[in-house]
Structures are given as structure tokens and as C-alpha cells.
């Protein structure tokens, strides 16, 4: 394909993407397929001879879109938001075209320096303490990791390296057996997974009535573990747990971590972005006690995958254990006032895209104001849904609604009944919700996941919840659109949650 | 930005990208900037109010491209190839637009099943043993990781988990202190870094005269370590080291690993792709002994970042240690003949893009034939460069030229002189090369890194090497273009390698 052909086909794909977004509301959010469906639709082997763009394109609807869950649909209310936006998609074209990797400064000076600048811009928007920013001239700075899992893994491995160094009287393995990390029972799996990868013990601590981890719980656990001869070294604190968007008490926890030489890493993957609004900045109060902090612009700041922003107070804590220095990656840094980082020492991966370009497009083309407005809009819509739930005596709200997620369940009904309700809602396929459990209680989660979701979509979703509740509880059968029952041969109830 | 605006700006960016490729040959491959240049060109803070697409676009040349190393230039001869192609860029638009993550089957059925299919297609193209493919109906299968570092890290952590499990009489830490991994002194840093992350001992073993790790070297090391009470558990074997593209003797090593219960992971990140050509399939002979195998389509198979293909003989070896299973990610698999993987259990990251779509576009729009032709063309061009080097009595070839990289140096000259030659070549800025060292010897590497590089570009590069050699050795000064000396105020010699 030459550049002329790319102009033609690239433009066609731009229009296909635009058409996709224009028709999203009319597509069922969930596909009607069962396990193994795709095998019948494509050949068993790669073609020997090249096919045309048109050959591939004609399979898009019949193969790819046939089985896609539409994460960009305004009726998608699952998980937490996954960001994407037109400015980011446009920037992404350039990222792919340049394919210039900021692994060393020399390998992409603009990529390195734009990442430095964007991490400082974003840090300022969040009012992070100065010491996290490059502009302070101190030891801190930010880096774009792929995901919050990477950020957590990098943090726990760096914390482990520090602990091993501090216990030079023992072998690494002896230290490892004694190390203990903490997180709340409500934290995202990335913290637990990071501990598994680091091969360290981890304790999932209980939370208070708001699903928040409190200082006294941590203090008691540390005391108990120290008495047993363990070495507490890491806390994965959450600002916005995946289940209920609960916020741990960072100030209480941070003070204890400071006293006990425990590395506090804050995973604020989704909720952290809200802190760009003055009224939500309180959510990250206590960040000053943390050693590292992360939020994902690919969740709530309009940047598509993969973009997790991580800041650290002392960058040598991560660059030291991650440093490998072959001649084939050598890079001469100029001496002088400004010394730019070689980002390959900050990450698990050597290869890394020029992702700061996407942040640059997004921060400029939205401006702080529109990014704030989006967050406020989502929170307002969640409050709208909360009010609808509270207005229906059959339901209860499971957790405080602080941001864009509403956790709710049928009042006085057991887990099975609530699970059945969710199944019915999703089988209907016009909206998509995911569940969670906290303290043994199963509930439904309604998330404002996509920026195009509006007030009518919220009412639309609530109507479906009510319809399905009516059927489930056998109260009213009038008004239910019977077509939603006639799905197809697939026993869809088994496919989806 | 609404869809109409996206049609307009997206089309504009498609044309901008096409223009970029059309003008690439006329751009100096390396930028004329020094550390800290970007700070002066952009504001200190993110804008409060939104800017237009045109505002951002007008800064592209003056800010971004001013300091980019042009990895897509036909005159870029550094590192190993980093892939990008128009079909991949077009597919990438759709990946970003859909933002539908194959983390569980339900979360993106097409994404999960297309990944399964593409990993099988690619595995068949490489003639991997059946047991690595899903189609065998056995325990094996493939997964798209982000990078070869991720693949190596996943492999070593899974191998560590198996070793810890097999030594249940000891604590994990006690086992860890005894575990020892191996790789060659020439292997890519990803293996060493993976061992650092896994906190296991690693030995860098010496290679033979072709920079290949041999069986007897490994056997001797294992014997020695076992005598000392260590537990050999992992070998990171290379098919195509970064420095000289050396290939370890997989058959010799594999047999020993099999006998000794050592997990052989093959890192074939760049060179492995050549095995789709029958005449280069021998490079991966012995893959049948490996537990896991990886190559990066984002290196030599036209897929842009991030795409590392990893196969494993027994997928439970990785899904077990990587498994975390919260209700909010629950997924009901249908019982039946076909059971699809939940890829979130295969990777460090939970979030993962729909990358199989890019593989699908690329494999179809090139077809196996054109992918083979590209590899053959690159090898032929490398041979052309090798012949030019061999024809100049001042130079010597440092390592066998098997694929697309030529390692060469000034004959009888020490490292400093060769380093000075490289510096002069790169300061000229019309081409870009990176160096390496093996066994203490510094040399230059010439890589056919970009698919648009042609025979004339190879001659062009060789002419520059000769010109700079003439100047360096003070033999001829005629014919040297004096403008290449007048760079700018920046002392460029310090910026770049």
C-alpha cells in the first residue's frame, strides 16, 4: 500500500469509524454470539496471497462487529470508564505513523521531553505536591506506564528492592519471606496481582462501613505482623475501589506509613482524575504521604489505551532496580541545568509508544475546563440514577455515590435474586451492567462509562432495570416489550454476566 | 468534537501522515536539538480553555517533529526493525474506536476469538509444533503480550511459580535464594531485567565464536550450580541477539533443559519472524524443546506497537500464577467443545487493546507471500551492505550476516577509533546507526530497519560511512560535502550515539 492508497483507505476508515459512532445507539450493546462462533467465520490459515482493503472491510460487520461488546455505546454501564475520544484517535494516528519510541532521550527527544511536560501539566492539574513534579528540580517526576497494573507492579518491585537493600544482613529470599504488603479487601486486583508477581505476602485488610481502609486497621495489622517477626513494607491504598469507588483514608494511612517506613502507593486509576475539579480534590488529600501515585488517563481523561500516569517522589527508587544498560541502548546525556530522564529505566517494558502525544492533543483540545465539565456531567448523571433508585422502594443503594458509579440492589433480597435480576437486564442486551460483591453481598453496578451518555440514556437504563424487576418479582407484566425475549437460538443467559 | 468534525480532522491527519511519509527521505534522520529544548516551546501549564485541532496541528512541525528521531526514515539503520505499516495504522484506528478489551471472553468475544485465531495462524506460518496451538485441542496456546519484556517476565514468573511449587518443603524465599536462571552474555536485556523483577539469580553464560550459547556451556554451569546447592530452573535462549543477531543452539540447549527440568523460554523477538520463510525456518529448530516462545510482530511483521506474540505448551503454567478472580470480572464460559481463554489470566496487565485486529489486517493485506518477500528483501539488502564492507580493505565484518543486520568495524583499530567513526557518521545526521560491544570489542551495526529502505539507500549509507572514514583516517578529503560540518550551535557530538 503506497501513500496514495493510504490516503484513500485511511479516509475510508475515518468515515467508517464516524459511521460506527453515529449508529452506536441503535446497536444492541451486547452481541448475540456463543463460544467458538468466530471459528466458523474465518479461514483456518492465513492467506498466501494479499487481499485488498475492501476484502477485509467487508468482513468487519459480519465477523468483527458481530461479536464485539460495544464499550463505546452510551448504553454501556459496566466496569469503570474506559476512555477514548476523537482528539486521542487523531493523535494516535500520528503515534503509529512516527513509531518513535522514547526509550532513551536520543531515541526520541520530543517524546521524552513531551512526556516530562505532560506529566508536569497533569500533576499541576491535580495539585500534586511539588516534589512529584520535574519542575521542582528535585528527585521526583512522572512517567507513562501502560496500565495501573504496571504502575502497581513497578511500585511494589521498587519497594521490595528498597526493603532488600535495607536488610543487607539477610539474603533476598530471607527478606522476602518476611516482607508483608497490605491493601484493602476492596482494592482492585492489580495490587494483589502485583504482590503475586513480586512473590511477597499480602494481607487484604477489612474496611469500614464506607468500604474505606482506615488507619487503625493498618496500624493493628502492622503491629501484629511485627510482633510475629514480619517486615511491613508496602501499602496499596485505593482512591476509588473498582467495586464501590470507595476511598481509603489516605491521611490516616499515610502518617502510619511514614512512621513505619512503609511505601504507600496510591492506586487512583479511575477516581483520581476527578481531582482536577477543585470540589473533588479532597479525594486525594493525603497524597503527600505517598511514595508513588497513579491514575489512568485512559479511564476518565479521554485518552485511549494505554496510558497510566504514575508519579514518584524519588525517581531513583524505581530507576535503580529497573536499570539495565547495554551499549546498544547507550545515550549521552548533556551535562547542564536540565537533565532529561531515560524512560526505559522506569518501566517493565523497553519498547514504549509516543503516548505523551495523545495526552498533549487531549489536554489542549479539551482544555482543563472541558475535562472538568465531563467529570461533573458524569457525576450528575450518576446522581440522577441514584435518585431514581432511591425513589423505588424495592431498591437500596449499597454505597455512597461520590463519583460516576451507583451500586444498588433489591432491598431484602438475597444474592441469588439480585444475580437473577442482573442476568435478565443483560440478556435483554439493550444495556450492559457488571456486578460486584462487598462483604459477601452481591449488587449491581451502574457506571457512567462513556462520555456520550446523557440524561435520556440514564432514564432509558432505569426503565429497563424497572421492567426486568417487574418481571422478576412478578408484579407487573404490562408494558414489557416482548421482542426483548425473542433473542435467538443461543442460550444467551449462559454467555453473559 | 462531533463525528462531522472527526471526519474532517481525521481525514486531514490521514493526509498529514501520508505527506510525512512522502517527505521522509528529505528529512535529516536525526533532529538538531539539545536537552531541554522543548520546555521553551510549550507553555508551562495545560490550557484552561479548549484549543482547536488547527492550533495543535500548527505546532506539529515546530514542536514535535523538530525533535523526533525519524524511526520510519529509510535512512534509519539503528537497533532492530520496529514495524509499522499502512494496513496496521488503518486497523489501529478501529482498535482505538472500538476500545473493546479482550480481558474476558464476554468483555469482547470477537477480540478473544480473533486473538486465538491469529495466534494459531501465526503459529502455523512458523510451523510451530502442534502442541503450541489452540487448534491441537491440547493444553497449549498463544497470547498477545505488549513486548518481549512482558513475555520474558511472564515466562520467568511462571517458571518461578512452578519451582516454588515443586519445592514445597522450603519457604518461597528459601527456594528463591537457590533458584538460578541462565541466559547468554549476548542476550537482550529483557531476560536480565525479567530476572531482576523476579528477584532470582541469573548467570550470563559465555558464547562460542559465533556468539551462540552452546549446550556444553549450559550443562557445565548447571552441574556447577547444582553442586553448590543451587536449583537451575530457567533458560532464556535467544534466536537473534540484539547485538549480532546470533542464534543459540536450541537443540543442544533444549535437550539439557528437558533432562534438568529447566524451563526454556525462547526470545526470538526480531529474528523469529524470518522463520515464516522455509529457508529460515531452521533458525528456530529446537523450538519443540521450549516451554514458551516469543517473537514480536511489532518488529518484523508490519504491526505497529505493541504486539509481542507468545506461545506456551501448557497454558495453565501461566494462568495459574497470574489468576485473580473478582466478581466484577466474572465471566460465564459455556460448557462445550470449545472453551475460549480469558486472556486477563495470561498477562501482567488487566487492560489490553484489541490488538489481534491489527494482526488480522496485516496478515490478510500482505498475505504470507508478501511478508516473506519483505524478509527476503531485507536480508538481501544486508548482504549488499556486507559485500560493500568486505570490498573495503579497511573494514572487517564482526559477525556472520544471517538476517538484516551487519556488524562491522575498522580493521585493526581500537574501540576509541571505531567509536569516533560512529560519532562522525551520526553527527552527519543523514543516516543513523547504533553500536554494540561483544566480548569487549566495540563495533557499528547497520540494520535494515524500515521496509521502504531500498538498494539505493544502502549505497547512500555506505557512501556516508566511507566519507566519514576517509576524514577520520585522514586519507582523502576530496568529495566531502562541507555542509555536513556546519550543523548548528549545539555540540551534537555529545547528544547522540
Residue A199 to residue A208: CA distance in whole angstroms:
28
- The answer, yes or no, to whether residue A492 has pLDDT greater than 50, is no
Position of cell 564492507? B389
Measuring CA to CA, which residue among A207, A215, A211 is closest to residue A252? Answer: A215
pLDDT tens across A21-44, in order?
999 999 999 999 999 999 999 999
| Element spanning A166, H or E | helix A148-166
pLDDT tens across A333-357, in order?
444 445 789 999 999 999 999 999 9
- Let me know the angle formed at the C-alpha of B177 by B173 and B183, rounded to the nearest 5 degrees: 125
Q: Is residue A361 part of a domain?
A: no
Do A73 and A147 fall within a single domain? no
- The answer, yes or no, to whether residue A433 has pLDDT greater than 60, is yes
| Element spanning A201, H or E | strand A201-205
pLDDT tens across A50-77, in order?
999 999 999 999 999 999 999 999 999 9
Query: HSE (CB half, 13 Å, CA atoms) of A479?
Result: 12
Q: Is residue A472 part of a domain?
A: yes
Residue A328's pLDDT is what? Answer: 66
- Which of B354, B377, B410 is the last residue before a domain boundary? B354
Do B128 and B24 fall within a single domain? no
Position of cell 530507576? A319
Q: Is residue A48 part of a domain?
A: no
Query: Are B45 and A111 in contact (CB < 8 Å)?
Result: no
Query: Are B90 and A339 in contact (CB < 8 Å)?
Result: no
Q: Is residue A60 part of a domain?
A: no
Which chain B residues have a beta carbon less than 8 Å from that of A336?
Answer: 35-36
Do A419 and A446 fall within a single domain? yes
Residue A10 to residue B90: CA distance in whole angstroms:
6
Query: Are A7 and B16 in contact (CB < 8 Å)?
Result: no
Query: Residue B440's domain spans which residues?
Result: 1-30+69-84+369-497
Residue B236 — φ and ψ, nearest 5°?
-95, 100
Do B75 and B131 fall within a single domain? no
Tens digits of pLDDT across chain B (497 residues): 999 999 999 999 999 999 999 999 999 999 999 999 999 999 999 999 999 999 999 999 999 999 999 999 999 999 999 999 999 999 999 999 999 999 999 999 999 999 999 999 999 999 999 999 999 999 999 999 999 999 999 999 999 999 999 999 999 999 999 999 999 999 999 999 999 999 999 999 999 999 999 999 999 999 999 999 999 999 999 999 999 999 999 999 999 999 999 999 999 999 999 999 999 999 999 999 999 999 999 999 999 999 999 999 999 999 888 777 667 666 544 444 457 899 999 999 999 999 999 999 999 999 999 999 999 999 999 999 999 999 999 999 999 999 999 999 999 999 999 999 999 999 999 999 999 999 999 999 999 999 999 999 999 999 999 999 999 998 644 444 444 443 333 333 333 32
Of A51, A99, A147, the CB nearest to B349: A147
Bridge partners, residue B433, by sequence:
B77
Structural domain total, chain A? 2
Do A1 and A150 fall within a single domain? no
Residue A339's pLDDT is what? Answer: 78
B169 in contact with chain A, both atoms CB, cutoff 8 A: no
- Which residues, 6 or more positions from B62, have their beta carbon under 8 angstroms from its beta carbon? B41
B45 in contact with chain A, both atoms CB, cutoff 8 A: yes
Residue A394 — φ and ψ, nearest 5°?
-75, -15
Give the CATH number, domain containing residue A300: 3.40.640.10
Q: Is residue A50 part of a domain?
A: no
Of B97, B157, B176, the CB nearest to A173: B176
B480 in contact with chain A, both atoms CB, cutoff 8 A: no
Residue B396 to residue A76: CA distance in whole angstroms:
62
Query: Are B39 and A338 in contact (CB < 8 Å)?
Result: yes
The CB density around residue B420, as the number of other CB atoms within 10 Å, is 15
Query: Are B146 and A52 in contact (CB < 8 Å)?
Result: no
Q: Is residue B90 part of a domain?
A: no
Do A149 and A229 fall within a single domain? yes
Residue A321's pLDDT is what? Answer: 82
ipTM of the complex: 0.94
Which chain A residues have a beta carbon less than 8 Å from that of B200?
Answer: none
CA B280 to chain A, closest CA, distance in angstroms equals: 17
Of B82, B113, B367, the CB nearest to A48: B367
Query: Are A351 and B147 in contact (CB < 8 Å)?
Result: yes
Of A6, A53, A332, the CB nearest to B497: A332
Do A124 and A264 fall within a single domain? yes
Query: HSE (CB half, 13 Å, CA atoms) of A269?
Result: 33
The CB density around residue B185, as the number of other CB atoms within 10 Å, is 16
A236-245, A246-255, B263-272, B337-346: the lowest-pLDDT one: B337-346
Where helices occur in A62-108 by DSSP H, the ranges are: 86-98
- Which of A354, A386, A421 is the last residue before a domain boundary? A354
Do A419 and A294 fall within a single domain? no
- Average of pLDDT values for A123-141? 97
Query: Are A328 and B79 in contact (CB < 8 Å)?
Result: yes
Query: Are B63 and A92 in contact (CB < 8 Å)?
Result: no
Strand B395-397 to B308-312 pairing: unpaired
Interface of B with A in 133-162 (CB under 8 A): 135, 146-150, 153, 157, 160
Which chain B residues have a beta carbon less than 8 Å from that of A63?
Answer: 110, 114
Interface of B with A in 216-245 (CB under 8 A): 242-243
B363 in contact with chain A, both atoms CB, cutoff 8 A: yes
Spacing of C-alpha A452 from chain mean position: 18
Bridge partners, residue A183, by sequence:
A204, A236
- Which residues, 6 or more positions from B34, have their beta carbon under 8 angstroms from its beta carbon? A334, B490, B495
Do A324 and A459 fall within a single domain? no
Do A403 and A443 fall within a single domain? yes
Give the CATH number, domain containing residue A471: 3.90.1150.10
Q: Please, what is the average pLDDT of chain A? A: 93
Q: Is residue B126 part of a domain?
A: yes
Query: Are A71 and B98 in contact (CB < 8 Å)?
Result: yes
Residue B11 to residue A13: CA distance in whole angstroms:
9
Do B346 and B377 fall within a single domain? no
Chain pair A-B, CB pairs under 8 angstroms:
510
Of B108, B196, B491, the CB nearest to A68: B108
- Which residues, 6 or more positions from B478, have their beta carbon under 8 angstroms from its beta carbon? none
Q: Is residue A38 part of a domain?
A: no
Which chain A residues have a beta carbon less than 8 Å from that of B50?
Answer: 364-367, 369-370
Spacing of C-alpha B470 from chain mean position: 34
Residue B321's pLDDT is what? Answer: 81
- Which of A296, A322, A354 is the last residue before a domain boundary? A354
Do A388 and A343 fall within a single domain? no
CA A38 to chain B, closest CA, distance in angstroms equals: 6
Find out whether A235 and A248 touch, Cβ atoms under 8 Å. Answer: no
CA A114 to chain B, closest CA, distance in angstroms equals: 7
| Element spanning B116, H or E | helix B109-125
Query: Are B351 and A147 in contact (CB < 8 Å)?
Result: yes
Amino acid at each position: 500500500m503506497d501513500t496514495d492508497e493510504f490516503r484513500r483507505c485511511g479516509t475510508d476508515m475515518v468515515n467508517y469509524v464516524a459511521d460506527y459512532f453515529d449508529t452506536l445507539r441503535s446497536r444492541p450493546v451486547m452481541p448475540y454470539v456463543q463460544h467458538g462462533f468466530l471459528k466458523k467465520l474465518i479461514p483456518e490459515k492465513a492467506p498466501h496471497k494479499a487481499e485488498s482493503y475492501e476484502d477485509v472491510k467487508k468482513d468487519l460487520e459480519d465477523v468483527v462487529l458481530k461479536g464485539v461488546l460495544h464499550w463505546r455505546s452510551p448504553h454501556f454501564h459496566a466496569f469503570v470508564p474506559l476512555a477514548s475520544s476523537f482528539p486521542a484517535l487523531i493523535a494516535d494516528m500520528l503515534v503509529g505513523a512516527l513509531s518513535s519510541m522514547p526509550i532513551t532521550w536520543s531515541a526520541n527527544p520530543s517524546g521524552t521531553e513531551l512526556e516530562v511536560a505532560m506529566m508536569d501539566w497533569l500533576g499541576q492539574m491535580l495539585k500534586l505536591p511539588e516534589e512529584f513534579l520535574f519542575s521542582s528540580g528535585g528527585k521526583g517526576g512522572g512517567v507513562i506506564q501502560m496500565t495501573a497494573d504496571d504502575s502497581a507492579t513497578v511500585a511494589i518491585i521498587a519497594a521490595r528492592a528498597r526493603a532488600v537493600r535495607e536488610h543487607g544482613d539477610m539474603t533476598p529470599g530471607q527478606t522476602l519471606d518476611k516482607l508483608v504488603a497490605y491493601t484493602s479487601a476492596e482494592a482492585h486486583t492489580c495490587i494483589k496481582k502485583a504482590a503475586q508477581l513480586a512473590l511477597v505476602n499480602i494481607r487484604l485488610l477489612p474496611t469500614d462501613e464506607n468500604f474505606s481502609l482506615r488507619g487503625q486497621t493498618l496500624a493493628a495489622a502492622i503491629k501484629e505482623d511485627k510482633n510475629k517477626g514480619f517486615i511491613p513494607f508496602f501499602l496499596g491504598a485505593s482512591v476509588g475501589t473498582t467495586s464501590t469507588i470507595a476511598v481509603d483514608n489516605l491521611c490516616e494511612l499515610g502518617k502510619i506509613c511514614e512512621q513505619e517506613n512503609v511505601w504507600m502507593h496510591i492506586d487512583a486509576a479511575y477516581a483520581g482524575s476527578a481531582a482536577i475539579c477543585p470540589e473533588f480534590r479532597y479525594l486525594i488529600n493525603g497524597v503527600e504521604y505517598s511514595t508513588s501515585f497513579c491514575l489512568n488517563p485512559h479511564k476518565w481523561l479521554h485518552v485511549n489505551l494505554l496510558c497510566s500516569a504514575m508519579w514518584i517522589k524519588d525517581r531513583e527508587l524505581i530507576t535503580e532496580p529497573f536499570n539495565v544498560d547495554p551499549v546498544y541502548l547507550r545515550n549521552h546525556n548533556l551535562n547542564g541545568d536540565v537533565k532529561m530522564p531515560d524512560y526505559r529505566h522506569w518501566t517493565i517494558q523497553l519498547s514504549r509508544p509516543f503516548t505523551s502525544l495523545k495526552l498533549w492533543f487531549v489536554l489542549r483540545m479539551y482544555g482543563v475546563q472541558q475535562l472538568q465539565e465531563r467529570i461533573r456531567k458524569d457525576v450528575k448523571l450518576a446522581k440522577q440514577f441514584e435518585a431514581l433508585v432511591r425513589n423505588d422502594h424495592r431498591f437500596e443503594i449499597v454505597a455512597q455515590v461520590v463519583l460516576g458509579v451507583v451500586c444498588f440492589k433489591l432491598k431484602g433480597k438475597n444474592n441469588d435474586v439480585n444475580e437473577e435480576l442482573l442476568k435478565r437486564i443483560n440478556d435483554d442486551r439493550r444495556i450492559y451492567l457488571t456486578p460486584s460483591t462487598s462483604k459477601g453481598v452481591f449488587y449491581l453496578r451502574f457506571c457512567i462509562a462513556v462520555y456520550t451518555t446523557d440524561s435520556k440514556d440514564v432514564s432509558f437504563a432505569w426503565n429497563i432495570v424497572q421492567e426486568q424487576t417487574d418481571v422478576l418479582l412478578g408484579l407487573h407484566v404490562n408494558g414489557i416489550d416482548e421482542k426483548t425475549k425473542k433473542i435467538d437460538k443461543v442460550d444467551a443467559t449462559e454467555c453473559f454476566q
